[in-house]
Amino acid sequence: MSSTGPRISSALVIDDSGYLLDYFTVLLNAVGTYQVKTANNGRQALSILQDHPDIELLLCDINLPEMDGIEFLRHISAQSFAGEIIIVSSEHDRVIGSVIKLAREHELHILGVMKKPATLENLKSILSTSGHRVKSTVRVDNHVFTAEELHQAIGDKQFIAYFQPKVDIRSGKIIGAEALCRWRHPDMGIISPGAFIPCMENNGLIDELTDVMLGESIAFLESMQHSHSYFSVSINMPADYLTRLNFPDELHARVKDAGIRSSSVIIEITESRLIVDYKQALEIMVRLRLKGFGLSIDDFGTGYSSLEQLQNFPFQELKIDQAFVTGAINNLASQAIIESSVNLANKLDMKIVAEGVESRQDWDFVQEQGCDIVQGYFVAKPMSQIEFIAWLEQNKGYFDLGLPEQKKSSQEK
Ligand SMILES: [Mg+2]
């Protein structure tokens, strides 16, 4: 993959200091951005964005007078801003970490953070990760889908699984994928889950959606089992499945019918959901394990699991939440969380997946920390089944970092 991202042609800088506006304009011009607009407060910035929907990059100070940076992010999310954002701040890492988390909740794409005083090198390094995100997913904000629409869409098989690869960090081997839901809407295009999951939940349709995802994932595994028998698919399990005592049997029957191995199905459970009903959750998980399924704890670091709790659940894999992984090199709090998650996983003999690896820097950092598996835009975006298989073949089963030693080790395999 190229080390420099595509050139950004239009940017907007928001800062209350006139001097910094000039300074950032110079930096952006120096990296080849021709159109740089400036605003010294959030309101002005919002109106510029409304007049210039083609702006690709925002450089945003989070300490602004009147409308602060947080409020501003909420507004641009409502305006469906689809470009990339660089946060500029001299705040503490943990504050910045929370801002990033919040921005992701709003489905905004934070490209990176520039601590003040920012330099040209900072900017270049952050921009080098730009463009790995493909903006093919439509933003459909605040749209309320009716139960009827959703039922119809399920019936018409408009919900499909996209697959995002998981790569072994040492060999580069593409070992599996996480199934992520997309809505192929006849008029609106591909819709990401943030836009329809809340409506699904409100209408009690999550189970049906999970069922679709299970079906798609099993079909995918079925199609792969001759050419890539080692391959696994991870499926996100909603909270209430942890109360469905017959789920392990149902899943086992489906997998058996399809003629695939139970171990090629990994069930991901979000950390914060574990505590809801401990006894039932434990029973279901133990039975899933006994039937040979993989178990993974998802979004790790965002909940409150204690070592004691985790020890009791038979997880084989721990996924560190992307909020801690993306840009970890510039964030001491994230680094501490990654380090302690790795320690914990090692103690409990679990594999560690780093989610949200979006740059070579992220990759190198999590590798140094001892993570085993990588997932994120740096490797690839989630893809449809057809795209995924084409991508896998094109890469001959290995993600090539372009390192001579990796090439060697991948050939050995
Ligand atoms: Mg997941």
Ligand 1 mean position to 82 CA, how many Å? 23
DSSP letter assigned to residue 41: S
Q: Tell which residue, 194, 191, 164, has the closest CA to residue 180.
A: 164
Tokens 């670091």, located at residue: 301
What is the bridge-based pairing of β-strands 294-300 and 265-270?
Answer: parallel
Is residue 137 helix, strand or coil? coil
> Which residues lie below 8 Å from residue 278, measured CB to CB, with a gap of 6+?
309
Distance 268 CA to ligand 1 centre (A): 6
Confirm if 163 and 108 have CB atoms less than 8 A apart. no
- What is the structure's pLDDT at 276? 63
Q: What is the pLDDT of residue 12?
A: 95
- Dist. CA 193 → ligand 1 center (Å): 12
Q: Given this model, what pLDDT does residue 301 score?
A: 76
What distance in Å separates the CA atoms of residue 318 and residue 189, rounded to the nearest whole number?
33
Q: Which residues contact 268 (CB under 8 A, 6 or more apart)?
A: 178, 234, 235, 236, 237, 296, 297, 298, 319
pLDDT reported for residue 410: 43
Among candidate residues 342, 359, 338, 362, the one with its CA nearest the CA of residue 350: 342
User: Which domains are assigned to the chain?
Assistant: 10-127 (3.40.50.2300), 147-412 (3.20.20.450)
Pairing of strands 159-168, 373-374: antiparallel
Q: Is 189 left (phi over 0), alpha (psi -120 to 50) or beta?
A: left
Rounded Cα distance, 45 and 51, in Å? 10
C-alpha 335 to ligand 1 mean position (Å): 21
How many angstroms separate the alpha carbon of residue 270 from the centre of ligand 1?
7
Q: Determine the distance separating the centroid of ligand 1 and the alpha carbon of 165, expressed in angstroms.
A: 12
In whole angstroms, what separates CA 396 from the centre of its chain?
24
Q: Quote the CA–CA distance of 12 and 57 in Å, as a whole number.
A: 6
Q: What is the pLDDT of residue 250?
A: 95
Per-residue confidence in pLDDT tens, the chain, 413 aa? 333 445 678 899 999 888 889 889 988 888 888 789 999 899 999 999 988 888 989 999 888 878 888 889 888 888 888 888 998 888 877 787 788 878 887 888 888 888 877 888 888 878 876 654 433 344 455 578 888 999 999 999 999 999 999 999 999 999 999 999 999 988 888 888 888 888 888 888 988 999 999 999 999 999 998 889 999 999 999 877 888 889 999 999 999 999 999 999 999 988 766 666 778 888 999 999 999 999 999 888 776 666 667 788 899 999 999 989 999 998 888 999 999 999 999 999 999 999 999 999 999 999 999 999 999 999 999 999 999 999 999 999 999 887 555 544 444 43
Distance 296 CA to ligand 1 centre (A): 9
Q: How far is the CA of 405 from the centre of ligand 1 (A)?
A: 31
What integer pLDDT is reported at residue 211 of this predicted model?
92
Q: Are 271 and 306 a contacting pair, CB within 8 Å?
A: no
- Compute the C-alpha angle 359/379/364, nearest 5°: 45
The tokens describing 71, both together, are: 């409020």
Alpha helices in 269-384 (DSSP H): 278-290, 307-312, 322-325, 332-347, 360-369
Q: What is the pTM of this model?
A: 0.68
